[in-house]
Structures are given as structure tokens and as C-alpha cells.
Amino acid sequence: MQTIGHYIDGQRVAGTGARTKDVFNPNTGAVQAKVSMATPAELDAAVKSAEAAQIKWAATNPQRRSRILFDYKALVEANMDALAAMLSSEHGKVLADSRGDVIRGVDVIEFACGVPHGQKGEHTYGAGPQIDVYSMRKPLGVVGCITPFNFPAMIPMWMFGMAIATGNACILKPSEKDPSVPMRLAELFVEAGGPPGLLQCINGDKEIVDAICDHPIIQAVSFVGSSDIAQYVYARATANGKRSQCMGGAKNHGIIMPDANMDQAVKDILGAAYGSAGERCMALPVVVPVGEGTAERFLEKMLPAIEAMKVGVSEDPDADYGPVVSEVHRDSIADNVTKAVKEGATLLVDGRDFKLQGYEDGFFIGPSLLDNVTADMETYHDEIFGPVLQIVRADNFEDALKLPSAHQYGNGVAIFTQNGRVAREFADRVEVGMVGINVPIPVPVAYHSFGGWKRSAFGDANQYGMEGLRFYTKVKTVTQRWPAPEEQSSDSAFVIPTF
Ligand code: NAD
């Protein structure tokens, strides 16, 4: 069986660490590879050669760096089908969704090609007598990027696309559950003409995450994953003086106002709740029908829509969603459904015992729908991260607004309404970082930026867009004066200069 090592200095290398972990095919439940867990010594060697590569890269003029990123974008697109198949076989999402995962990452590479424009800095001519002031955005050096299992193409590209475009080297530490796509993305960078050593892919788990947070050469840590670990990584990296942005978990709400176009809202919520088996940080696992009769009208259309949904293997073009990532995760989703019932929720659709014929060992779970969920239930408070939709009924707009605002997570939220004034007020007042108005998954496009509030993000810089550019650069400001000989001052100034 293949053991996946690391991608260092432009080559796939075997790991030297004693520990490996299993990589499953969630469709069959079979172990299809092993992945090596890097040691701190392997990380140290990779960081040192990344440091050398970064010095040359930072000295390469910006348009030459961009040309490599243009070629990289084209090469990733040319490899789209192979990447999507690889992604589905380790993650379990359906092929069309895997393509979307790659495409949303490529969008950031496309934005990153224009980074020279954003990195130009500022200039003031004549800020004082013969004095000009200019600033520049310098790269940080070597940065660490730690990513989750659920978007193994998009999230690495969010991070290394912006890090490399701004002149940094990147140590990418992907999820040990689906490492093959990040490894291939690193390899394609070198095939596109990127310097070996600039993008190193190191596989591992907590041991190597800790080593990244502690490494003295690594200047910044970008992390996406669950909230407790995001908070831990943020604390550890910042305690070591590193810049850090750590995105965490989510529990996004879809508010249905009484005037919503119900056919459209049901279609949108169905895809957002159950797509990718609910394993998206921007999924909509909570729906809030507002006012009398709205929940009944929603259920009238939602129940048959769930009935018509198809759960299947990733390669099945008719499947709406595939298996979840692991057996442990499938059991945790089922346990949460059981717990919700114990807490008093009404189970309208029960997906716990679903088996896919011919794939009985695969990590499949059917869709569940829970009604009469209330804000005091633990299963409402917690992220389930599976194909489970919870209905929390609200009497009016104010009560509905309070739910996402008071929730521990504040990643995304959506409102379905035909009333622009209500939508506008909701967007203004809700305590959540990304808002959709009749848009169920409001992941901002690459030239805006991505980031939640509260326990969905630690640190104050969003991912990608201009926020990403700022995260991966530091400002240097130069104040210069070129006086003519007759303008040289003859006295020392003992007070701070004022102009
Ligand atoms: P995870 O937190 O288990 O793992 C994320 C990364 O942390 C992985 O690289 C993993 O190897 C590492 N890690 C795991 N345990 C660790 C530990 N004890 N100490 C240090 N590092 C550790 O998350 P996951 O299960 O891979 O991904 C799903 C989670 O990510 C969900 O909570 C989801 O909401 C969240 N997510 C958030 C966003 C966002 O932008 N807010 C996007 C995607 C996913």
C-alpha cells in the first residue's frame, strides 16, 4: 500500500517519522493509503530550505512572480478532472462538488495574479521641505498554513495563493484525512515553473501543528478547522510572537420570512443543508421559519424534496451527496440526532440507519430533519457538520434575528425575503461575518474576503482578497529628503520635526 510522504524542495519524499495514519476511501470504507506524520526535524529542514527559496522569490520582480501564478492557474485547470477524482476518493463529496472545490481555489489564484497592483504601497510627494514619504508592503518570510479536511483544494489555495503572490514561502500542513490533493497542488506549482522549496507540503497532525506554531523562522500561521483547535493554534502561535488568523467552526442559520418565495427558499436550503453531506463551514444546518404558518408551508415542500434526494457514491452523477469523511464522524452525526430527540426535538426524517446497497461499509448517512429545536438545546449550540437540518421556529423578525446573533458561532447567515427593507435591516444588525440575502451560501468572491465572527474566527484578518494581502505582508515606510547643498541644515534639531 502507498505511503504518502511529503513534498519538499520540488520532490515527493518519503517520511522519516515512525507514525503513519490511514487514508480511507469513504465510499467503500477501505483504507487506500497511509500518510506519514512528519517529525519536527523534518519540518525544520523544510523550513530552512523554504527560507532560502523565499529570499530569491522576494527579490524576483512582481510581474515575473505573477506570470508563474498565471501558468499555475492554467495548469490546475488542465488537471481539473484528475484533481476532482482524487479529491472525491478521499473526501467523499460528489465529483461536481469536488470540481467546485478546485474552482473556488483557482479563483483566489486568479486574484493573486493581480497582487502586484495591491502591493504597490503608498507615496506622498513633498510631505515636507524636499521630503517624500513612501511605504511598501514587504513579505513576512516563511509562513505556515494549516488546513481542514472539508475543502482540500480551495482552502490551501486561499492561503498559499496569497502567501506566495506576496513574496512569501509557504509550509502547507493539510488535513491528514485527505492529503493527496494538497500534495498534487504543491507539485503542480513546481511543474508550472514555481521555484522548488517555496511551497512545501508537510503531512502530520497535532505534533507538527505545534512545531509550526513554535518554529522561530515561521513568521505567521493561517489556520482553518474546528473552533477549539483554532483557538488553541491562535493562542500558541501568537504567544510565540507570530501573526495569526484562525478560522473555526460554524452553525449557520437560514431565516425564512413569511413573504419569502418558498419554492426558491426550499431549493436553496436543501442544497445548502445537505450538499457535501453538510460538511461545509458555510452549510445551512439551521432553518428559522418566521411567523404563523411559515414552518408548515416550508415543511410541505421540504419533506418531499428530502424524499427525492439521492445519496450515492461520489462518482454517481445523479447523487446529491456522498459519504461523510470517516466512520467516527458518521457515528458522531447519528449520535447527535439521537441526542436531539432526547432533548425534545421532533425527528421528521431519520437518516441514521441509511445503508447504500453494495457499499454497506462506506461512511454513508441519510438526511435527517429535526423540528421544534430550541435555543437551549446542546445539539442546537454545537456544530454537527453532517446532513442534519434543524428547524427553530420564531414568532417574529426580532426573535429570528436574535438566534444567529446570540449563537456562539458567527460564520454565515442567510435571510429569504422579498422585502428589501427587512433584508437591509437584517444585514445591518445581525452579529455574523458573512450574510446572504436570498443567497444560501454567501462565500464571498475572491476579490472580497472570507471571515466569520465570534468563535468562527480568531484573529482580525480575513482570508484572501485585500485582507489576505495585508495578512501576508508588513508595511515599511520610508521618509526621504534630498536637500540641495544650500538647503542643508546647519543646526541639530532637538525637538521632533514638524512640518
Ligand atoms: P480539525 O480542527 O479537526 O482539523 C483542522 C487541522 O488541525 C488539520 O490540519 C488537523 O491535522 C489539525 N489538528 C487536528 N487536531 C489537532 C490538535 N489537537 N492540535 C493541533 N492541530 C490539530 O477540523 P476538520 O475536521 O479537518 O475540519 C472541519 C472543521 O473545520 C469544522 O469545524 C468546520 O466548520 C471548520 N471549517 C471552518 C472554515 C472557516 O473558514 N471558518 C472552513 C472550513 C472548515
Quick: pLDDT tens for 32-75: 999 999 999 999 999 999 999 999 999 999 999 999 999 999 99
Give the model's pLDDT for residue 320.
98
Quick: pLDDT tens for 354-371: 999 999 999 999 999 999
pTM over 0.95: yes
Per-residue pLDDT at 411 exceeds 80: yes
Edge to edge, the sheet with strand 123-128 lists: 123-128, 131-139, 473-481
Give the model's pLDDT for residue 468.
98
Per-residue pLDDT at 491 exceeds 90: no
* Other Cβ atoms closer than 10 A to 121: 15
What are the CA-CA distances from residue 122 to residues 74, 133, 497 (Å)? 32, 8, 21
**CA of residue 131 to ligand 1 center, whole Å:** 49
Rounded CA separation 229/247 (Å): 10
Quick: pLDDT tens for 131-162: 999 999 999 999 999 999 999 999 999 999 99
What are the CA-CA distances from residue 338 to residues 324, 332, 335, 374, 472 (Å)? 18, 10, 5, 15, 44
Confidence of residue 254 (pLDDT cuts 50, 70, 90): very high
Quick: pLDDT tens for 198-214: 999 999 999 999 999 99
Q: What is the mean pLDDT of the chain?
A: 97
Give the model's pLDDT for residue 484.
87
**CA of residue 155 to ligand 1 center, whole Å:** 11
Give the model's pLDDT for residue 375.
97
Query: Exposed e or buried b for every residue in 349-362, given b needs 16+ CB within 10 A?
Result: bbbbeeebeebeeb
Cell output for 467: 485582507
Active site residue 170: no
Give the model's pLDDT for residue 282.
97
Confidence of residue 497 (pLDDT cuts 50, 70, 90): confident
Quick: pLDDT tens for 296-344: 999 999 999 999 999 999 999 999 999 999 999 999 999 999 999 999 9
Quick: pLDDT tens for 93-105: 999 999 999 999 9
Closest residue by CA, ligand 1 atom 30: 225
Ligand 1 near 368 CB (within 6 A): no
Ligand 1 near 441 CB (within 6 A): no
Quick: pLDDT tens for 212-225: 999 999 999 999 99
Ligand 1 near 231 CB (within 6 A): no
Catalytic-role residue among 113, 201, 213, 281:
281
Cell output for 146: 494549516
Ligand 1 pocket: which of 150, 246, 384, 471 to mutate (most atoms <8 Å of CB)? 150
Domains and CATH numbers, the chain: 3-248+456-478 (3.40.605.10), 253-437 (3.40.309.10)
Per-residue pLDDT at 345 exceeds 90: yes
Per-residue pLDDT at 490 exceeds 80: no
Per-residue pLDDT at 196 exceeds 90: yes
Give the model's pLDDT for residue 496.
86
